[in-house]
Amino acid sequence: MGTEKMTMEERIQAFYRQSGGPNNSRIPQLMEKHLLYGKDHGMDGHRETFEDAVMDTVIQDPSLLLLFERFQRWRMSRKQDLKNNAELEKEIRQLQQEISDLKKRFSNESV
């Protein structure tokens, strides 16, 4: 099967032919070995996660990489905005408390 691309179904069927069929009790061990050491699954000895696969795709495509970088910048900016908003809300609550305390103090002095 040289350079032609196989569909996922064809790959699954080829795997079953090589491993002795879908009822082979060794299938889980064979799958684990393939996921750890298969050339189409990232670094040897490291089980590729979905995030790894997405990152590989993004890093290899310049337009996706640019989009990802912009998304990350936007996300970091948004986190900073949320942090700033939380700090402002805390400061507003403190000022409201001070105003309330001053009102009580002035109302007590005027009586």
pLDDT digits (tens, 9 = 90+) for 30-65: 888 877 887 777 677 778 788 888 888 888 899 999
In a domain, 62, yes or no: no
* Domain of 1, in residue numbers: 1-41
Q: Give the pLDDT confidence score for residue 3 in this predicted structure.
A: 61
Residue 76 amino acid letter = M
Q: Give the pLDDT confidence score for residue 1 in this predicted structure.
A: 47
In a domain, 4, yes or no: yes
In a domain, 30, yes or no: yes
In a domain, 85, yes or no: no
**Each residue's pLDDT tens digit, 67-111:** 999 999 999 999 999 999 999 999 999 999 999 999 999 888 876
- The rounded distance, in Å, linking the Cα atoms of 87 and 19 is 60
In a domain, 52, yes or no: no
* Residue whose pair of structure tokens reads 């032919």 in the numeric block: 17
In a domain, 104, yes or no: no
How many domains does the chain contain in total?
A: 1
In a domain, 50, yes or no: no
